[in-house]
Structure 1
């Protein structure tokens, strides 16, 4: 499950990056180009993907013994 979560998180980060770049008009060729709302959606998607990767990375680790 950790691997699937990491993979989904990485794909969300990639998708968020693409949406952000299209939203700020650096990656042309879509209806999203130049639309500020897509830059916001991309940033939020990227942050959610990063959080998912972090949570999946932390899951399954056993705390250190005293």
Structure 2
């Protein structure tokens, strides 16, 4: 059971960050974050943080 929380949070961070990036760049419409610069900046940072959490979670599972 070690590392599951980190893996879950990492995956959620990657998915949410990718969504925010796509919204911030204006590829998806119908949201308050569409064409918002904050989404295009925070999204990739969240993806990188999520990837770090995934790596950390995988190391904890070994």
- Provide runs of 4+ in structure 1 moved above 4 Å: none
Aligned CA RMSD, in angstroms, stands at 1.1
1:10 aligns with 2:8: no
Q: In 1, distance between residues paired with 2:42 and 2:5?
A: 23
More helix by share: 2
Q: Looking at both structures, which has the greater relative contact order when contacts are Cα pairs under 8 Å and sequence separation is at least 6?
A: 2
Higher gyration radius (CA): 1
Note the residue ranges of structure 1 that are not aligned, 5 or more in a row.
62-66
Note the residue ranges of structure 2 that are not aligned, 5 or more in a row.
none
How does 1:35-46 map onto structure 2 within 5 Å? 35-46=36-47
Q: Number of aligned pairs?
A: 61
TM-score scaled by structure 2?
Answer: 0.89
